[in-house]
Amino acid sequence: MNRPFSFQAERISRLFHSFNVAAAAMLGLVILLVVYISIRYRRRGNDSGEGAQVTGNNLLEALMIGLPAILLAGFFFASLAAQRAIAPPIGPDLKPDVIITGHQWWWEADYPQAKVITANEVHLPVGRRLLMEMRSADVIHDWWVPELGNKTDLVPGTSNYLWLTINKPGLYIGACSEFCGAQHAWMRIKVVGENEKAFNGWLAANARTALPPADSLAVRGAALFQAKTCASCHRIGGTPAVAKVGPDLTHVGSRNYLLTGMLSTSEANLMAWISHPQQIKPGAWMPDFILSRDSVKAIAHYLESLK
Ligand code: CUA
């Protein structure tokens, strides 16, 4: 089982363990009683016929009804307390620290205060209580990073909210947990929990506009990116490409993986993806463009340089 690495996951884990302990104690009691009763009241040599029949025993009935009622009430109030601690009410003037939007089949992460938009690798600061707003661009998705606690559905047309206080820096892996189409299984989540300093560094680096192309091949790639239809769907900050249909590519070269973890970021993998997206991720919104190998290489080279 995954260990909890957030305040919320710890509360859920504690609640779950207390349920387990109570259930185990109940099971132990029942087993003990069964064993005791079968030995104590077994048929002996000179026994004949039925044993003594008991009816209308108030004490037994009170125990039989009262004990489960007390246990269930305990479970109920413990759940309520955990729920209140994990998901306190959201006031009308509360602003989300990060907005996660589920798309078929990738995650958009938007940091509204810093005006940073990125995809799939969600960097979050450790030790701070974060309010995450969860939205969907198309169908219902579900955000679940088990080590960080509770799941949240991302529903089209409305916002759900998730409180998250990560306890320890690390890489936390999750997955979309609501069937959302052909590539649902590849809708992985990566949360990079970082201390405040590292997070702020990452945020500042990602708030900058894209690096200008550094060599002639990248210059050609950048021109092709704007001229071919790439710019109709993707944004690259500081260039004319401002569309938000596909992932923001302003700093795509700085991310470790492409396609929610399917491929590591490299020029070769970007080339493979741009050449044959429908072979790599069938059903994805990225169409197969019939581009020459040289053009694909130039675009991949440019994108890879966007650190
Ligand atoms: Cu998104 Cu399943």
What tens digit of pLDDT does each residue of 41-90 get? Answer: 888 888 877 878 888 899 999 999 998 899 899 999 999 999 999 999 88
C-beta 141 within 6 A of ligand 1: yes
Query: Residue 199: what pLDDT?
Result: 96
Asked if pLDDT for residue 30 goes beyond 80, the answer is yes
SS3 at position 91? coil
Name the average pLDDT for the chain: 92
Query: Residue 42: what pLDDT?
Result: 87
Q: How far is CA 188 from the centre of its chain?
A: 8
Residue type, 53: Q
SS3 at position 235? strand
Query: Residue 8: what pLDDT?
Result: 94
Using only the alpha carbons of the chain, give its radius of gyration.
Answer: 28
Query: Residue 151: what pLDDT?
Result: 92
The torsion angle over the Cα atoms of residues 91, 96, 101 and 102, rounded to 10 degrees, is: -60
- Residue 302 — very low, low, confident or very high, per pLDDT cuts 50/70/90? very high
C-beta 188 within 6 A of ligand 1: no
C-beta 12 within 6 A of ligand 1: no
C-beta 16 within 6 A of ligand 1: no
Query: Residue 110: what pLDDT?
Result: 95
Query: Residue 194: what pLDDT?
Result: 96
In the chain, the percentage of residues whose pLDDT exceeds 70 is: 100
Geometric angle at alpha carbon 133, from 130 and 138, rounded to 5°: 150
Query: Residue 51: what pLDDT?
Result: 78
- Residue 12 — very low, low, confident or very high, per pLDDT cuts 50/70/90? very high
Average of pLDDT values for 236-253?
Answer: 90
Residue 286: closest CA among 232, 240, 222, 210: 232
Omega before residue 186 within 30° of 0, cis: no
Asked if pLDDT for residue 1 goes beyond 80, the answer is no
In the chain, the percentage of residues whose pLDDT exceeds 90 is: 64
Write the residue with the smallest CA distance to atom 1 of ligand 1: 141
C-beta 179 within 6 A of ligand 1: yes
Q: Which atom of ligand 1 is nearest to the CA of 141?
A: 1
Asked if pLDDT for residue 227 goes beyond 60, the answer is yes
C-beta 184 within 6 A of ligand 1: yes
Q: How far apart are the first and last CA of the chain?
A: 36
CA distance 296 to 274: 7
Q: Are 246 and 286 in contact (CB under 8 A)?
A: yes
C-beta 103 within 6 A of ligand 1: no
Query: Residue 46: what pLDDT?
Result: 81
How many Å lie between the centroid of ligand 1 and the Cα of residue 102? 8
Asked if pLDDT for residue 126 goes beyond 90, the answer is yes
C-beta 102 within 6 A of ligand 1: yes
Query: Residue 283: what pLDDT?
Result: 87
Q: Are 255 and 120 in contact (CB under 8 A)?
A: yes
Q: Which atom of ligand 1 is nearest to the CA of 178?
A: 2
How many Å lie between the centroid of ligand 1 and the Cα of residue 183? 8
Average of pLDDT values for 97-105?
Answer: 95
Helix (H) or strand (E) holding 141: strand 141-144
Show the tokens assigned to 43: 């048929």
Q: Which atom of ligand 1 is nearest to the CA of 140?
A: 1
Q: What stretches of 87-195 show up as alpha helix (H) in DSSP?
A: none
CA distance 231 to 223: 10
Query: Residue 263: what pLDDT?
Result: 87
C-beta 180 within 6 A of ligand 1: yes
- Residue 287 — very low, low, confident or very high, per pLDDT cuts 50/70/90? confident
Contacts of 9 (CB under 8 A, 6+ apart): 146, 147, 148, 149, 150
CA distance 96 to 110: 10
